[in-house]
A and B are shown apart, each in its own frame.
Chain A
Amino acid sequence: MRYLLRRLLVLLLTGWTALTINFVLPRLMPGNPAEVMLARFQGKLNPTALAALTIEFGLHTHQSLLAQYAAYWGHMLTGDFGLSLTYYPSSVGQMLAQAFPWTLGLVGFSTVLAFAAGTALGVMAAWRRGSRLDGVLMPVSLFLNSMPYFWFALLILYVFAFVLGWFPVSGGMSLTHHVAGWAGWLSLIQHAALPAATITVTAMGGWILTMRNNMVAVLGEDFVKFARAKGLPDRWVEYRYAARNAILPNFTGFAMALGFVVGGALLTEIVFSYPGLGYLLYEAVLNLDYPLMQAIFLFIALAVLIANFLADVAYVLLDPRVRTEGNP
């Protein structure tokens, strides 16, 4: 329990930090670029919306910083992220709600797949240490792990969508279909196939490497030797004894890996014009749409935080040593 409470504290602190970064950033930068952005929209936005934005970004206000901070929290807690300048008159909240399911589906699916496949391959490589599989898998996963996501995305987009024409070039699904019905689902899967493949392949390398190292370390432990000496079948020792213990550190490593994968997924979405948060963020960056940009950062940060917390909970359920920590 103590472990989970600590993690919860980190979760809350990180959430607070993300929110505060959003507040501080526009006020910290010399020659506030938000001013330039607002100047561009003078006359296009209605005056009330403009006034609200001016306050949000700390321009021309007579309020103290503390009062601004309090007002900012009020907006955030009521889910009021302001208006998107790019997609005016849509609000930032509406744009987020539209894009989020796409990213959640794509990243969620690919991450789980990459984790499962990478872990399985890592176990195999460690078990057959020194074999040809191990020899090939290591440099290959290092290379996969070092590829820029967006570059790999561009290459498979070119080969499988342009040259071979097997998959659609861009978008989330074809406009003639609705999600309901087989044709709609098929279109959805066709559009997601290449982005999902990009994320899975590039994210897998890291999992293979960490899992192999964990597994090699566990294989040197006495309890594995004992299990072998007892004459247990190899498969039994490999999975029930070694892999089960080797997988535990991967759950704590999930935090760092997830942040990295999400970053890569954002770039992948941009390459495929996939209608998720990454593409939206790209549009926001191009148009200097700071309200949208900041809200997307916040949203991604919170989603990653929650996913991390779930990984921590899973860790506690899987490893009894954490549960009894402090009260033996």
Chain B
Amino acid sequence: MSLRMLLRNRRALIGAAIFAFFLLLALLAPVLAPYSPTDINFPPMLGPSPRHLLGTTANGQDVLSQLIWGARPTLVVGLVTASITTALGLVVGVFGGYVGGWVDEILSTVTNVFLVMPGLPLMIIVAAYITVKGITPIIFVVAVTGWAWGARVLRSQALTLRHQAFVEAAQMSGESRWRIVLTHIVPNMLGIIVANFFGAALYAVLSEAGLEFLGLGNVNTVTWGTMLYWAENDEALLMGLWQWMVLPGLCIALLGTAFGLLNFAVDQVVNPRLRRT
């Protein structure tokens, strides 16, 4: 993957800019947020005003502060889950695709099984059984149910690479299996691995939002998903508190778009057939 091409790609730049914006928001939350996100000492259900730029919630919390602090858990869930699923997918996919034979048969059957299993319903029942609520169980649930996609894509890539001349040459020269995988196969898949990472991050962020909206996260923590849960439960739109409902969803959608743009752009750079001509 050529980094220079990525820097010249407009989609990648826009995606990276949005991602950087939310990353800064999350890192600088203590500095940027005017109040504590859990402070309930403000008058409830205020509209936007100079003191509360985005108004307050039905419980008297500052919406802007919640929105800023909410970036943290969302990014953590997105990035950590994506790292886990990509690593799992890489191990299962590359191992199966490279080793082949019955190992591959078993691994790809398991992958296919998890691929067809509808994710959200499975997540819901697993999450409903976990009595500890919070971000860690959500990461666990999304990672366990969502790794198959990456495994499938990475496997087919490993399969293609296995028959390339330079890999066969390395085999002839007597390099060990692990060395071939680590120095020849994986580096050549870097683009697809990165693209897959951003795809997985998008999936994780959306899944987290869905689970938290259902009240399956810890509803006392401040994330964009739990903000939507409370906004829905307190009928924010009917009360005219549109900013409380619209903005957390918009942030999720924008962060998701950033992940999508990066996924798409990296895919375009590594896959010459998709390049603009």
Contacts and interface: CB of A to CB of B under 8 A. Distances in A.
Interface of A: 9-11, 13-14, 17-18, 21-22, 25-26, 29-31, 33, 129-130, 138-139, 142-143, 145-152, 154-155, 158, 162, 209, 213, 216-217, 220, 255-256, 258-260, 262-264, 266-267, 270-271, 281-282, 285-286, 288, 290, 293-294, 296-297, 300-301, 304-305, 308
B238 A285 contact: no
A217 B273 contact: yes
Contact of A259 (B118, B215, B264): B118
B214 A285 contact: yes
B112 A293 contact: no
Given A25-B126, A146-B206, A10 B113 contact: yes
Q: Chain B binding site: helix, strand, loop or mixed by DSSP?
A: helix
A290 B121 contact: no
A281 B211 CA distance: 13
Contact of A147 (B112, B238, B245, B249): B249
Contacts of B121: 262-263, 266, 281, 296-297, 300-301
Interface string B110-153: 00110111111110111011110000000000000000010000
Interface in B214-256: 214-216, 228, 232, 237-238, 242, 245-246, 248-249, 252-256
Contacts, number: 165
Contact of A217 (B11, B149, B202, B274): B274
Contacts of A10: 109, 112-113, 116
Contacts of B249: 147-148, 151-152, 154-155
Give the residue among B11, B149, B257, B267 with the most A Cβ atoms within 10 A.
Answer: B257
B104 to A, nearest CB: 13
Given A33-B131, A146-B260, A154-B237, A267 B213 contact: yes
Given A29-B130, A151-B253, A304 B118 contact: yes
B154 interface: no
A32 B117 CA distance: 24
Contacts of A266: 120-121
Interface string B93-105: 0000000000000
Contact of B129 (A29, A142, A270): A29
Contacts of B185: none
A206 B14 CA distance: 19
Nearest to A31: B131
Contact of A162 (B129, B130, B237): B237
B209 interface: yes
Contacts of B112: 10, 14
A142 B206 contact: no
A260 to B, nearest CB: 7
Contacts of A30: 131
Contacts of A25: 125-126, 129
Nearest to A10: B112
Contacts of A305: 116
Contacts of A301: 117-118, 121-122
Contacts of B259: 146
A146 B228 contact: no
B206 A255 contact: no
B270 to A, nearest CB: 13
A123 B61 CA distance: 47
Contacts of A18: 117
A29 B131 contact: yes
Nearest to B108: A10
Contact of B118 (A143, A209, A262, A293): A262
A260 B209 contact: no
Nearest to A299: B121
Given A31-B131, A262-B118, A297 B253 contact: no
Nearest to B242: A158
